[in-house]
Structure 1
Amino acid sequence: MESIFVYIAKSAGLVALFYCAYYFLLRKETFFTSNRWFLLTGLITSVVLPLIVYTKVVWVNPTPIPNLNFSNTNLIQNTESKSFEINWIYVMLSIYCIGLLVFLIKFGMDFYSLNSILKGKKVHQQADFKFIDTNENIPPFSYFEYIVYNSSMYTPAELENIIEHEKVHSDQNHTIDVLISRAFCMLFWFNPIIWLYKKAIIQNLEFIADKEAAKKLSDKKAYQYTLLKITTHESCVAITNHFYQSLIKKRIVMLNKNQSKKRNSWKYYVVIPALAAFVLLFQIEVVAKERQQIVKEVSGEIKSVDVYKIKKSSTDADLEKIKENLKKLHNVDFEVSDVKRNSENYLTSLKVAIKNGKQQAQSIQVNGDKAIKDFGVIVTTDEKGQKNVGIQTDDDAKTKVAISKKVSLIDASEPDNAKTTTSKTLITKIDTNVNDNTNTSTKTNSNANTNTSTTVTIDTDNKTNTKVITTTNGSVIAISNDTKVNGKVLESLVIVDGKEMPAGFDIEDIDAKDIKSVNVYKGINAVTKYGDKGSNGVIEVETKH
């Protein structure tokens, strides 16, 4: 809804731009025909240009996968009770619609009035013109090919001047300009500039008709007297080109003015820089996209990670879609039950059960009367195609598990030859298939107060430069103390309890029993937090002391 008002504001601004250019630079020039097209171009530009948006894509590094937490109580999101508020957007839209309706009715009445004048009258055809000599006391006017006048009100000489003037209007289709300007006044009735713009269009059309008619008449002064005589008429048909217009003095001045010099035509191009500035400021939309990273196995570890988000606003159709994708893409069984929603249709309670082949079923249940916090199902795939499934939340995990994997990151947005071997850190907690033939370390965590259980498995293959730490609270932490780029090992920055450790510090010197948590930062996240010191990665260790 807000986009409609943004569009209206942009359109109004462009109308004001063209009107100011005409009023201050062009209205005193005698380039009447050029002014006509300039003014029409301004109207068309004001409705088309705001719709043209150039999208500029800015590539950013992907957001790290957040830590996992299986505490059911943390999935509850507090929602504030909303009091009644007036939606001013709908109020303004209602006012706009009422105004538009009023002007549409007025246009209909004007059209009906015109039709009543033309209907049933005797028409005299001459070339492309249709003349109607009426008995009504109205000023002469033209409407497309129709030219209407009351011959009893004028002398033959005056009538000749009038008809030549109206022929110009009819021959050059000035009625189209009048109708276009009238349509814009109805659509943008709230904008005072558009009414001035319409007046400028109609006045310029009169300048054109006066100039062309005077060329065909022998007595130019008599034509000017005819203009003065017609000013006595007070009523006219609004949607026609009528001979009488206000500012007769202005028309006479322009009729006698010398032709403007061609070098003054530069004034038409003044709007181009202004339009360019408008596009640069308002019509370029910057879109941030995450670099698509394809994780390729180097040392027999994680190949890809997929996260299926479950939001508080997820519908039954959304949940069914997640179920279909998990089954189709990963052969993972996903079932949701005990679904409850509040008055705002937000999820407040649900039970999620996940089963990956022969793995034990993992479940999480949330109960409450407040909206849940967003969480998701995370699926990791190794190079052998083995799927590992878990549940991901957006909260900070009470138990942080950092698995450092050496992978090759291939940026899909860069050329194929731009590949860098580095250390990829995945912050995750997963359910995995335990194989007695592999070297694994497992730990099962459960909470008696919640319906939640999970198994954490970490590859402890000592062939990789990875250190595995099992803390006293049962957390299993695997970290890598180096980053490898183009075959060169770069030592990561180590921070212990907020203090920077000297170069060459070995994490193995810390007793595993004293470690409370470990965080690993790579790339832009490390540099953002620690500056150039973190360019090779940062390992934060928090101890219990």
Structure 2
Amino acid sequence: MEFLFIYLLKGSIGISLIVLFYKVLIEDLTFFSLGRITVLTLLVAAVVLPLLSFDFQFLGTSTLIPLNSSLTWLEGQANGVIPVEDSSTFDWKIIPFIIFLIGVLYRLLQLFSGILSTLLLIASSKKVVVGKMTLVINSQFIPASFFNYIMLPEYSERDEEINQILIHESVHVQQGHTWDVLFLQLIKAVFWFNPAIYLLEKQLREIHEFQADRAVTTNYSTIAYSRLLVKQLSKDCGLQFMNNFNQFQTKKRIMMMNKTKSKSNQKMRFFLGLPLLVLMVGLFSCDLAMSQTDLMGVWKGTEFQFEQTEGPDMTAMIEGGRALHEGGRLILNEDGNFEIFAGQGDMNGSGTWRFNEGQGMLILTMNGDEETKYSIVSLSDEELVTKHEVEFESPMGKLAGIITLTYIR
């Protein structure tokens, strides 16, 4: 669950940076195709890079490490009493997750119900093929496009206003703008709590409309087309995942179509998206760039997991290890020494420790004996998770598996 919240935080930061980049650097430029490509590329980076950062934490290879004296919990536990875990404590962290999940499901239901209702209307409507375009005629529609369909309330071949609308909507179809919108709607379903995603949606829709408006004004006067936009302004079909002809920001669209084209040297602004992309890579995909200082402190054992891969059933021994770890303490001192205390407060070991940055390994040496290496699965200010493979010879046979230890500061 923590990984999810970290992902949402990183993704939200990335989306906010894209909104800021667009607003400050490229909003006033007339390079609409380049702006669309830049925004979509940065958006993909913002939602994918945080996932890769989680994956990178698992890329370190684990070596099969024999258990030594630092894991003395395996010795003499065969006749121990298996502790009963208290399951009555409510985990309050589940509440934000439930709220988040409700928001995601609501957004997805809203999206898919809109798509379904549109498809049903298309199926029951009259269709007219004009050149390479498929027009869907239904009095319930306002001018809009959906994938390869152009939806109209009515159609007359000699109507100049209809012809302007067809040119506009045909650009949405040719450019595949519906794919952009649906992709953004899926992202919005995940980041529904972040106001920046709604601003980004507005910015991308603006770019779509600017692209389509330009195609119309190359064939018709801006005055005539502006009148048509104002005339269509009051109509709304409510299907926000479609490219509607009367899209919001009509005043801004009219201003943009009358704007002088940006000079070619202003394209240099788009190259500033590269430093932003590098920044996101550094912020979101370098979680293993930790130092020994990050590990220093007192860590309290909270969760013990043992995934057995070989050997007889040794539940009592495993539960004995759980009892020693959960509630125990791992103290990593600045001078390179460490101490381990069991859950009951008894000393369970001491020695020296170090951090191998290249391998992402916490290495404990117990009183000068053989080293024990722990792969760091994740590390934050509040939580440390380690994992290592083990094998142990016992009177009942060989025991092998993977131990995952979770600590909090």
TM-score (norm 1): 0.50
Aligned to 2:31: 31
Q: Deviations over 1:488-531 (max 9, x none)?
A: xxxxxxxxxxxxxxxxxxxxxxxxxxxxxxxxxxxxxxxxxxxx
Query: Relative contact order: is structure 1 or structure 2 higher (C-alpha 8 Å, sep ≥ 6)?
Result: 2
What residue is the counterpart of 1:371 in the other structure? 323
Partner of 1:48 in structure 2? 48
In structure 2, the CA distance between the partners of 1:373 and 1:15, relative to structure 1 (3 Å rule), is: closer
| Greater share of helix | 2
Residue 115 of structure 2 corresponds to which residue in structure 1?
111
Q: How do 1:98-497 residues align onto structure 2 when only pairs under 5 Å count? A: 98-136=102-140, 138-151=141-154, 156-217=159-220, 219-286=221-288, 317=308, 321=311, 340=316, 346-347=319-320, 371-372=323-324, 395=348
In the alignment, residue 226 of structure 1 is paired with which amino acid? L
Q: How has the CA–CA distance of structure 1 residues 212 and 286 changed in structure 2, closer, same or farther, with 3 Å as cutoff?
A: same
2:133 is matched by which residue type in structure 1? Answer: F
Cα 1:85–1:225 change in 2 (3 A) is same
Q: Which residue of 2 aligns with 1:94?
A: 98
Aligned to 2:392: none
Whichever residue aligns with residue 270 of structure 1, its letter is L
Q: 1:166-192 CA deviation, whole Å, 9 max, x = no partner?
A: 111112221111111111111211111
Q: 1:24 to 1:154 in 2, by over 3 A?
A: farther
The question of whether the paired residues in 1 share the 8 Å contact of 2:164 and 2:225 is answered with: yes
Q: Is the 8 A contact 2:136 2:149 kept in 1?
A: yes
Q: Can you list the C-alpha shifts for 1:209-264, whole angstroms capped at 9, x where unaligned?
A: 001111122x3311111011001213343222111012211000000000011222
Moved more, 14-23 or 89-98: 89-98
8 Å contact kept, 2:49–2:280: no
The structure-2 alpha-carbon separation of the partners of 1:125 and 1:13, relative to structure 1 and needing over 3 Å to count, comes to same
* Contact 2:222-2:257 within 8 A present in 1 as well: no
Alignment: residue pair count: 316
SS in 2 for 1:130: strand
Distance 1:212 1:80, change over 3 A: same
Over the aligned positions, Cα root-mean-square deviation in angstroms equals 4.2
Deviates more, 1:126-135 or 1:184-193: 126-135
* CA deviation vs aligned residue, 1:256-306 (integer Å, no higher than 9, x gap): 0000112222222223323323433442243899xxxxxxxxxxxxxxxxx
Partner SS for 2:323: coil
Structure 2, gaps ≥5 residues long: 292-302, 327-345, 351-357, 359-366, 371-409
CA distance in 1, matches of 2:230, 2:208: 18
Return the alpha-carbon distance in structure 2 between the equivalents of residues 67 and 134 of structure 1: 75
| Cα distance change, pair 394–288 in 1 and its aligned pair in 2 (3 A) | farther
For the 8 Å contact 2:142–2:152, the answer to whether it is kept is yes
SS in structure 1 of the partner of residue 145 of structure 2 = strand
Distance in 1 between residues matched to 2:76 and 2:238, nearest whole Å: 76
Could you tell me which residue of structure 2 aligns to residue 7 of structure 1? 7
Kept in 2, the 8 Å contact 1:312–1:346? The answer is no
Q: 2-side partners of 1:261 and 1:95: how far apart?
A: 48
Q: Structure 1 67/195 Cα, relative in aligned 2: closer, same or farther at 3 Å?
A: closer
Report the CA distance shift for 1:270/1:72 in structure 2 as closer, same or farther (over 3 A).
Answer: same
Cα distance change, pair 67–85 in 1 and its aligned pair in 2 (3 A): closer
Seen in structure 2, the aligned counterparts of structure 1 residues 67 and 52 have a Cα distance that, compared at 3 Å, is closer
Larger radius of gyration: 1
Indicate how the Cα distance of structure 1 residues 174 and 72 shifts in structure 2: closer, same or farther if over 3 A, else same: closer
Do 1:113 and 1:237's aligned partners in 2 also have CA atoms closer than 8 Å?
no
SS state of the match for residue 129, structure 2? strand
Q: Deviations over 1:6-49 (max 9, x none)?
A: 11211111111111100111111111111111111122111222
SS in structure 2 opposite 1:115? helix
Question: What is the rounded CA distance, in whole Å, between the counterparts of 1:47 and 1:253 in structure 2?
Answer: 33
Q: Cα distance, 1:196 vs. partner?
A: 1.1
Cα 1:274/1:119, change in 2 over 3 Å: closer
State the secondary structure of the residue aligned to 1:164: helix
CA distance, structure 1, for counterparts of residue 71 and residue 222 of structure 2: 90
Q: Which letter does structure 2 place at the counterpart of 1:185? A: K
